[in-house]
Structure 1
């Protein structure tokens, strides 16, 4: 082929390069061989994963950590089915992601061909857009369109279908210029209106969340809140959006929240949501938050899908546009200082010596204190869904945006793939994942991907031999009738060593500090298997 002419598959890869894509996560398939061939000579790193769910979760993590759409590539039918969990996560978490799916040849459609399925039928309700490349001359432009849609407004996943026969057709169409993403704006009148609302309020709360934050925006809003004596609250599993050392930071709302902060949410007379909104998780099932509280939402999504309550003022802006027009305001410090004191108490583990120092269990309160003491200031922390995450989200500190990957939709299995992706996105940073025994084995095979790529995450597997969250619900709804939640586990340390990683089992709290030191010094991916009491499902005092 001439320099001016290439296949549609090669044009897609060239467009990804032009968009600044550095990695694609995937499982290979014969349906998109032309794309894989083009990647052979591309600077884009093709991270070969062990299951499409893991690949999709890595793309979600990349989007969360970088703000740019993460890329996953899978084959048709079964491959797309495995990746669906990541699309749902990106949809509910509002995280930018583009999933490429190889498809059957155009002439084979609607004939029940091998692995044929309806791309729109499967993903139409959980993706911002579903695009199928029908003509080679449109391939590059449609890829650019997918990236713009994924990142604009309320971010989310876009699914791009790649028919096998279209990929091999030639095209001389030029690459598309990346589309700028509109950040919206705050007018002078809106700025003044917000300032008046804040000045009038006696008990305001500023709730931050979403994925469109950067370091400059978080620094600006934090400094503003500190000057104005305004308390900053983080949405569930976005509590890396503000430095936990800031006196303005008063904690996060959502599952496992501080009851005193939940009470303040109910008592607030003004709620300012920035990048997020009022939903069932943040409000405890749409029950929290005073109905008569003045409510302001700052979000570039004109539909405000994430917000489900009154709106007194909607600023159509992303965090960067909002912080450029922050109103001057000053509040009485007592409200914010009381909430800050409550957060410091809540985030302090229950002492150096717990009830399991001399028994065959690890005390998770002490474990988190020991881990927190060993965390670098810019460490990236990941975890999936389950009671094991309650300790991490409560006791592990964050000091900058892009230091947390955890599923807001409650998807199990993301912690390990997210840690692998984080170790590739930030190879010089410490990466730590807290995994439950059930959560770990959903994608624990991606430890092989970490070893293959030189990733060095530390993974703590919390083994209570059960699906602990469901067990907790059972004990509440059907006391004494545990059913369908017990697990039989391997030795996770031995499992890690089989992949060439560091692995060790820890059954006593007193043995944990030295084990943490050995794992962190191992120079490779590492797994610590922690035996914990199955009867202890949340931190002390919770």
Structure 2
């Protein structure tokens, strides 16, 4: 007989899951015992449920495949909620498997009992509690289907502890989910090609659905075939080669008013693979809401997204990469050069704000100098993980991302994401260089996972910007209220190098600008995991006093 716990592992294997992140609890021992007998799944034991969830999200972001986290009931599940929120905003498929109180205690306010449908109903795409072991295969497979379908996102599967060892019966194994795609409409493509032939200032807005090798290649090919400048949405800088003359920059928190004004002059906007959220659209002001002033095309794989915030002249529900591939072949011979002056103008605006000029400050190292020095030292296929905060903001603007490099940063801005996502990246791609850039606040939120870095011998390079402040919030305080007394943003920090060495990492601290280059060279050449703490300036990033 196969137990319900074994049925869980069968379904996961069927759907290509080869790694799960877990923090053990007595409420899902039946599943853990089944995993003990399943050699095809690597069980990564984490030190906090939120960190484990970030690992699952990071893995899903890099691969497009289901990220899985297993936790115990009550506190374990609520600790994991930050990762569910991140998976939702990042639009990645994730499954949270939660142990639950025994069936006879359900709805009786038992020890650590939670009604997960009520708790996670606004975050997860679906919450299902499986009380009948014979339906385990059916309902878990359906949950995975929901996680992948439409706009991908998180699902929650709840398993009462006393059913996991019960006989799952002979219920058939559902086939692995395959995402259906409708083909791009030929008539609509011809209409868009005709619009492009007349346009003098077309613009691409490219989003997360293109975050695959095929999507990036299709975007570049189509942009070059038609000579269309390309912008990328919030924290999606790695979708397009930043050095390409057609790269017009990103749409996010640091986009300048001059850039937005120029983008508004476009006479055709084609938004591909993006949900057009508030940060990318500058608070739903670009394009004009609800009806853009220029002809507007929106292509996305989920019909519910098309027209939600911006009414398109043409909306297409299809695979974004296929759309771009079929649009590219419709380009006429002179298309690539027709829009060159427009592309050059947008490129110049981007260059004006991304060219770093070395600076000095009295209260520490200017972190922009560190980022500027790091960029040329990155491997051609490096995976750069960014936590939330001031340190990440410098990397978005001043690293020029190349085609094979990958940027892994939470769209939702969750602090503490960095260490966990770096672990997921290093586990998934053991031959690639993985670098984490984090501020002191974000690093402290998940630094217990350095134990896992040591356990798995993961050669991650950590750069910690220590300005002893929740810097972004301090920036907002001074921006909104002026340089008066502040509260709640000063941060007490440890000796990060000493902390890292306690976990078995190589580490050093840098406090002088002239030592940055050599320290980065040692970091990038380290044998095994290593950390460099940068004593950074806070005031260099605050409003002028």
**TM-score, normalization: structure 2?**
0.93
- Counterpart position of 1:342: 349
| 1:159 corresponds to 2:153 | no
User: 2:469 and 2:227 mapped to 1: Cα distance?
Assistant: 44
> Which digits, 9 at most, give the CA deviation of each residue in 1:244-263, with x for residues without a partner?
23332221111122444323
Moved more, 284-293 or 166-175: 284-293
- The CA deviation at 1:381 is 1.0
Question: Alignment partner for residue 117 of structure 1, among 114, 122, 127?
Answer: 114
Task: Note the C-alpha offset of 1:124.
Answer: 0.8
Q: Is the contact between residue 23 and residue 47 of structure 1 (CA under 8 Å) also seen in structure 2? A: yes
The within-5 A match list for 1:223-262 is: 223-262=221-260
Of 483, 487, 490 in structure 1, the residue corresponding to residue 487 of structure 2 is: 483
Secondary structure of the 2:370 match is helix
Question: Would the aligned equivalents of 2:184 and 2:323 in 1 still touch at CA under 8 Å?
Answer: yes
Residue 376 of structure 1: how far off its partner (Å):
0.4
Q: Distance in 2 between matches of 1:189 and 1:207?
A: 22
Alpha-carbon contact 1:465-1:486 (below 8 Å) kept: yes
| Distance across 2 between alignment mates of 1:56 and 1:500 | 24
Residues 232 and 251 in structure 1, CA contact (< 8 A), matched pair in contact too? yes
Deviations 1:261-311 (A, max 9, x none): 323233223221111133210122222334412221111111117951222
Q: CA deviation at 1:490?
A: 0.4
The yes-or-no answer on 1:534 pairing with 2:534 is no
Q: Is the 1:28–1:74 Cα contact (8 Å) retained in structure 2?
A: yes
CA distance in 2, matches of 1:538, 1:462: 15
| Corresponding position of 1:74 | 71
Equivalent of residue 25 in structure 1, options 12, 16, 21: 21
Pair 1:211–1:501, CA change in 2 (3 A): farther
CA distance in 1, matches of 2:496, 2:246: 40
Q: Comparing 48-57 with 460-469, which one deviates more in the overlay?
A: 460-469
Determine the C-alpha separation between the residues in 1 that align with 2:294 and 2:66: 35
- Note the C-alpha offset of 1:324: 3.7
Q: How does 1:127-138 map to 2 (within 5 A)?
A: 127-138=124-135
- 1:305–1:33 distance in 2 versus 1, CA, 3 Å: farther
**1:158–1:539 distance in 2 versus 1, CA, 3 Å:** farther
Secondary structure of the 2:285 match is: coil
Equivalent runs, 1:129-528 vs 2, <5 Å: 129-171=126-168, 172-211=170-209, 213-290=211-288, 291-304=292-305, 307-326=308-327, 328-329=330-331, 330=335, 331-351=338-358, 354-356=359-361, 361-400=364-403, 403-479=406-482, 480-528=484-532
Specify the alignment match of 1:40 in structure 2: 36
Q: CA deviation at 1:212?
A: 5.2
- Cα RMSD (Å) of the superposition? 1.9
CA distance in 2, matches of 1:408, 1:538: 23
Q: 2 CA distance for matches of 1:214 and 1:288? A: 26
Runs of 4+ in structure 1 displaced over 4 angstroms?
A: none
Contact between 2:30 and 2:164, CA under 8 Å: does it hold in 1?
Answer: yes
SS at 1:120's partner residue?
helix
Number of aligned pairs?
532
Q: Residue by residue, what CA displacement relative to the aligned partner does 1:110-169 show, whole Å, maximum 9, x if unpaired?
A: 111111001101111111111222222221232222222212221111111111112111
8 Å CA contact retained: 2:210, 2:239: no
Larger deviation: 88-97 or 298-307? 298-307
Cα distance, 1:216 vs. partner?
A: 1.9
Query: How far 1:31 moved relative to its partner?
Result: 0.8
Where 1:240 maps in the other structure, the secondary structure is helix
Please identify, of 305-314 and 99-108, the stretch whose mean Cα deviation from structure 2 is larger: 305-314
Shift of 1:495: 0.7
Provide the secondary structure at the position in 1 that maps to 2:237.
coil
Q: What is the CA deviation profile of residues 397-452 of structure 1, one whole-angstrom value per residue up to 9, with x for unaligned ones? A: 33347812111112111011111111111111111111111111111211111111
Contact 2:475 2:543 (C-alpha < 8 Å) held by counterparts: no
Whether the 8 Å contact between 1:71 and 1:97 is mirrored in structure 2 is yes
CA distance in 1: counterparts of 2:542 and 2:300, whole angstroms: 34
**CA shift at 1:515, angstroms?**
1.4
With the length of structure 1 as denominator, give the TM-score of the two structures: 0.94
Contact kept? 1:72, 1:99, Cα under 8 Å: yes
Deviation at 1:345, TM superposition (A): 4.1
8 Å contact 1:67–1:211 — kept in the other structure? no
The alpha-carbon deviation at position 382 of structure 1 amounts to 1.1
Gaps of 5+ in 2: none
Q: Is the 8 A contact 1:297 1:311 kept in 2?
A: yes
Whole-angstrom CA distance in 1 between matches of 2:115 and 2:403: 41
1:185–1:315 contact (8 Å) kept in structure 2: no
